[in-house]
Amino acid sequence: MHPAPSVIIFTTLSGLGFGLLAWLGIGLPAVTGWVAFAFFAFAYALAVGGLLASTFHLGHPERAIKAFTQWRSSWLSREAWASVAALVVMGLYGAGLVFFGERWTVLGWIGAALSLLTVYSTSMIYGQLKTVPRWKTPLTPVLFLTLAITGGAILSGEVTAALVLLLIAAVVQILWWQRGDGALDQSGTNLATATGLGKPGQVRAFEPPHTGTNYLLREFVHVVGRKHAMKLRVIALVLGYALPFAFLALPFNHAFALLAVLSHLAGIAASRWLFFAEAEHVVGLYYGKR
């Protein structure tokens, strides 16, 4: 699928932001006053910035408010409500830490749960889609949640937890790629089922349905070469997991910590680009794309 920059920014930054809010909600790091304000400001900048970036992928960004109306059936709508609830609750919790030096534990845990619920809802926007077999797996929400928690641990300075979580996240990422590479074949969907012409015999594309492009081809039939995909996977693993692990394993230094954050951010952005670019939408079969 077409890896729109707005969606990559959205899934990367909002995941890190809500991951950091989840750690702050459980009291880690144990900060108050202006230090707490700095942590919360950074978390909100990532979370809200990511959410705002997602609206640029809409044909009419001014209608984004309508996302709140379909919460009974839409994971996008559920994400919208969960994100607002998380930001409000964590805002109240943060106010207690910054202005009163009080840690309202129950409120913090509720905010942490809502933050992770937001990330889960984001993942299910993609993980529910039968039309994209690569995404339709329980590993999709596991990947999103693991990366959010891992990124939050790095940003919150929880080094020991971050080292363990980086290893876990790397394994989940590799498993997600491995399973996804054969997902379309294992789904049983092919050109015959896509066109409904399977019974007479073997189906092959005689010519494209039309000579020009259209919305479906632009958005759902993006092709990335396997050679380039493998290079990007290596880049994502090195920048997103290996280098942050190496920097955090060294004796603590603020410069190393900053490099770990920047490297992880770049690696996850590459992973997110592949998340969309490698996703084979079954509509591509109708156009003879494989």
- For the stretch 150-166, pLDDT in tens is 999 999 999 999 999 99
Q: Stretch 112-140: mean pLDDT, rounded?
A: 96
Which H, E and C letters describe 105-153, residue by residue? HHHHHHHHHHHHHHHHHHHHHHHCCCCCCCCCCCHHHHHHHHHHHHHHH
Determine the pLDDT at residue 163.
98
Number of Cβ within 10 Å of residue 58's Cβ equals 13
**Residue 274: is its pLDDT beyond 90?**
yes
In contact, 191 and 205? CB cutoff 8 Å: yes
The larger pLDDT score, comparing residue 70 to residue 233, is at 233
Token pair recorded at residue 104: 């309202």
Q: At what angle do helices 139-156 and 33-54 cross, to 10 degrees?
A: 150
Domain 5-286 has CATH 1.20.1630.10: yes
**Token pair 């979370």: residue:** 47
Q: Which amino acid is at 23?
A: W
Determine the pLDDT at residue 124.
98
Token pair recorded at residue 113: 């749960």
Going from N- to C-terminal start, the domains of the chain cover 5-286
Closest CA to 290 of 177, 169, 205: 205
d(CA 57, CA 179) in angstroms, rounded, equals: 28
d(CA 69, CA 114) in angstroms, rounded, equals: 19
d(CA 152, CA 16) in angstroms, rounded, equals: 6
Q: Stretch 106-123: mean pLDDT, rounded?
A: 98
Token pair recorded at residue 29: 């790091």
d(CA 285, CA 133) in angstroms, rounded, equals: 13
**Number of alpha carbons in the 13 Å side-chain half-sphere of residue 123:** 20
Q: What is the pLDDT of residues 190-232, one digit of tens each?
A: 878 777 777 666 777 777 677 677 767 777 777 776 678 899 9
Determine the pLDDT at residue 188.
83
